[in-house]
Each structure stands twice: as structure tokens, then as C-alpha cells.
Structure 1
Amino acid sequence: MTGPPAPGDALELLERSLAYTTVSLGLVRPALLARPTPCAGWDLRALLRHMDDSLLALIEATGTGRVRLGLGSEAAGGASDPVRTLRERACLLLGRVAAATGPDVVAVGDRQLAARAVAVTGALEIAVHGWDVARACGADRPLPPSFALRLLEVSALLVDDADRPVRFAPPVLVPDGDGPGPRLLAFLGRDPVAA
């Protein structure tokens, strides 16, 4: 099996990530869908579509043991209530991961990953996009420090130079004294202090 190690706290990280992001999704209003996000060139509507694609891929992984690359969905971003759609998918994903009845190994393209590694990857992406959503909605919702620290630890295993600039922008410099939340966001190419 190739890929990053599978942390034993994958379910907890996914659960915390979904809880954090669900609160951010509560800030979304139709009038805000055209607002820019911290992801260059993306508006909130595009971010919600991307989040939907990501959740669908994670749901597929937990059900079939594989993720088909290059397949997209516009369901949540184009839905009359994209937030409700994302919340429903999040509940389905969490239920599947918690039940632990899915495959132990997931095929992602030509790589084989432990299902827990896929769940941690999803937790990282979901949490950071939850921050993106809040920022696009004009809210400052810092990631809880202990949670951000754990995600920062696993992000070093999950994100490398090959992921830039395709999945993540180059890292942003932050002062040495910044906490784990700003350091995580900066590592993933976001300016943690930009409005």
C-alpha cells in the first residue's frame, strides 16, 4: 500500500471538521454566493460546488473503495439549497466512516490508500474549506487551536510540492509566533489575516 500513514484519530478529525464546517455553512445566504473566497479565482458558489465534489468522492470511497478521478458534480453549487445538500452529504459520510463497514483500502487513481488516510485527507480539506466559507461570508471563525495543531501535523504528511499549485497555492509566510490555525492556513496557501 502506498500513501500517507493512517492516523488512529481519523474519525475524530473528520467529526470535528464536519462540525466546524457545518457552523460556517450556516452563514451562507443566496446573496453571498458571488462573493470571492480566499481561494484565488473562486467565488462562494464555486467553492460549494467543489465541496460537494469532495464529499461525493469521500462517500464513494467509503462505499466502493475507489475514487474515480475527474468526475465532477454541480449538485450542491447549483441546487436551490446547496447548504442543505452539503449537510446531508456530510451526515452520510460521517455515518459511513463511524460504522467502519466500508473497505479498509481505497483506490485513488493509481494509488492505494488506507481508508483512514482518506478520511483524514477529507477532514483537512473540509475544515479548511469551512474557514474559506466563513471568510467569504465576512466572518472570522478561527480553527480551534488543538484541532488546528493536529491538522497541521497531518498536513505535512498529506501535502507536498506536487500538490502545488494544483490543489494548494504556495505557502504564505506568517510570523513565527502565530498559532497553529494561522500556520495551517498559511501552509495550505491561505493568508490567515486577509479579510
Structure 2
Amino acid sequence: MSTRTIHSLLVAAAALTGACAASSPDSEGGGEASAQTEAETHAAETSACSRYGGPGEVGGVVSEHIVPALTGDCRVSAMFTSLPEPAQVHLVECLTIQVQELFACEGASYAGAEDSTGALCRDMVSAHAGLGITNGDFDAVIEDIVAGLQAAGISQADIDAVAPAVLSTRADMVEVQTDALSNSSCG
């Protein structure tokens, strides 16, 4: 499934959800429509970071759900599992900071961030230069990130909210304009 298809599905789901909420039969208040409006208002007033338990819990989403989805996917796992252990730790720590920033965790900022050893978390262009990442690779990674977020119980609305930022990294990461996978180990 292409990233464009995933994004289109996310947008369509969000539109359908909004349309269903807007057409609720309870227009006088106090019922289901009011409760949904209250929930939506509360969600808008709190960060995704707060809704999912804070920076530590958001970090757990990365280490317990997103990374296993990536390393368990034969289409892209070699990109991650072939790294030496210190590089894997660096990747997980920097990815955690990125997700914490996307989820609006207080104080989380990827620009200029460092891992626990003091190594700089690089920008997307520098981090992916020379890797020969294809559109197919990028799409597979996006599918795995979405699957990891869903497995962690992240709401579709919150996935939709971060999707534009995540999808905007395509130009920074993709070097080869093909839908083929660059290093698949699928049999």
C-alpha cells in the first residue's frame, strides 16, 4: 500500500468520523452529540503526550511497538537490524525524541537533540544520505509506523494528526524514485 493510499485512507477516515459526529440525531444537547463534543474539546485541549501517559509512555510506544514493527518487517528489517548495537540504540533514542515532539511532549525538541551518549540526532537528510532509500522502502516504513501506533492503542485521530509531519519527510529520505524495495529479505 503506498503512502499516498495510507494518507488518503487516514484523511477519509477522519472525514467520515467528522461527518458521523456532525449528523448525530441529538441536536438539543445533553446526549451523545454533547458527550462527543466534550470529548473532542478535551482532546484538543490536552496534548497527545498527556493523553498517552507522558514522555516515558510515548517512548514505550516507540520501543515496544514501532521498532518491533520495523525490525519484524522483512521488507525493511535489514536497514535496522544490520546496524551495530550502539547505532540501534542511537536510532531508537532519536526516534523516541521525534515521536515525543510529534505528540507535543513538554520540552521535547528533535532539532539539536542528543542521545544518551551525547551523540547528535541528525536531520533526516543527513541521517539517510547514501542509504539508497526508495519510495517502496519509505512506504513500508510508514505502514510499519502506523501499525505500531495502532498496536499501541493510539487513536486514529492522533495518527491522522501526526501523519502530515511524518509524510513530509519523504523528500528528505528517499534517494531512489522507485516503488521497489532496496534491501528486502522477504522470501
Q: What TM-score does the superposition give when structure 2 sets the normalisation length?
A: 0.31
Which structure carries more strand by proportion? 1
Which structure carries more helix by proportion? 2
Higher-Rg structure is 2
Q: What TM-score does the superposition give when structure 1 sets the normalisation length?
A: 0.30
